[in-house]
Amino acid sequence: MNTSPNKTEITTALSEKGLGQQPWWVEQWMELINSYRFKKRLERAWTYAREGNVTSIRFEGRRVHARVQGTEEDPYKVKLWLDVLNDEDWSYVLEALTQKARWSAQLLAGIMPADIERAFAASGRRLFPFKLQEVRSECNCPDKANPCKHISAIYFLMGDRFSEDPFVLFQLRGRTRTKLLEDLAKQRLEVLTAIAKKSNQENNLDKDSKTKNDTPAQAHPAVINPSLWWKYEGSLNADLVVITPAMEGDTGLHSAGELPLAEEPRFPKARQKFLSHLHEQGSKLAQHAMLQAMTTGD
């Protein structure tokens, strides 16, 4: 699988049981599909998706390209896309995302905030399509109806892809994962810089006032007692705290380096399997800790 942010290709077939328990954003996408009134066509599309008639899906920039094997010898070509937001729309979205630290933290953790549409409301646009007709599509099959069963099969597998990576939705609206997080980090830095600048200006005004009144400035207690440098008993502004997961290769296990585990000649793969399991458990515990931290509120 190619996992680059601009182009992703998957070849997959759904199980007999369907998508199963899914995140809320996938369920919302599935509800959008189920709103289609031609249920028989959806049933045929589900069969196509489940039995592997979709031979490939490529997420290239703002479009989805797929091939679906139908009754003809050659697979049909399918294209899907959403209306993209322009730069002005995205500026409103980024400003709204920056004002709520929880949104930034959840997105950085790969989680779609449940109230994400509030951020898009600032631009008068939406992240999720409101109705199925907003999903643009083309298929070169002879069926004049749109969506045809080939297009509808891709709808189902797009839900499968959204489950793996919610940022695909942002990509279809015109912002890749990398670009979105870069812009979000830049916007947040500007906000924090402005807050710090304002605080410094207020402190300077306060110092000037004390100088005019000939009131001697008192030294901070930490100057006398250096151990106080490591203590902070004031309350933190929630907007200044962003909880983020460790970057790849920057966890405690990575920092520890190679673990001195003995090799077992009879089981040459045992050591690597143990280390892989250790890293997997570490990732799960880290994600659990992130979720617990973010449930404490904004």
Say if residue 46's pLDDT is above 50: yes
Q: List, in order, residues 6 or more apart from 96 with CB less than 8 Å away.
A: 118, 119, 120, 121, 122
Of 138-142, 175-179, 194-198, the one with minimum mean pLDDT is: 194-198
Report whether 90 contacts 175 (CB < 8 A).
yes
Two structure tokens written together for 208: 């000037």
Q: Does position 298 have pLDDT exceeding 50, yes or no?
A: no
N residues, the chain: 298
SS3 sequence of 179-215: HHHHHHHHHHHHHHHHHHHHHHHHHHHHHHHHHHCCC
Confidence band of 55 (pLDDT split at 50, 70, 90): very high
| Residue 98 and residue 191 in contact, taking contact as beta carbons nearer than 8 Å | yes
Q: Which residue has the higher pLDDT, 47 or 294?
A: 47
Among 7-11, 135-139, 218-222, 254-258, the range of highest mean pLDDT: 135-139
Identify the pLDDT of residue 19: 47
Given a cut of 60, is residue 248 above it in pLDDT? no
Contact indicator for 83, 134 with CB cutoff of 8 Å: yes
**Quick one: average pLDDT of 282-286?**
76
Q: What is the pLDDT of residue 106?
A: 82
Q: Report which of 287, 72, 248, 105 is spatially closest to residue 181, judged by C-alpha positions.
A: 105
Pairwise CA distance, residues 152 & 158, whole Å: 10
Give the residue with greater pLDDT, 220 vs 24: 24
**Global confidence as pTM:** 0.57
Q: Degrees (nearest 5) of the Cα angle 129, 172, 59? A: 125
Backbone angles phi, psi at 276, to 5 degrees: -65, -40
Distance CA 175, CA 159 (A): 19
Tokens of 115: 């109230």
Return mean pLDDT, the chain: 76
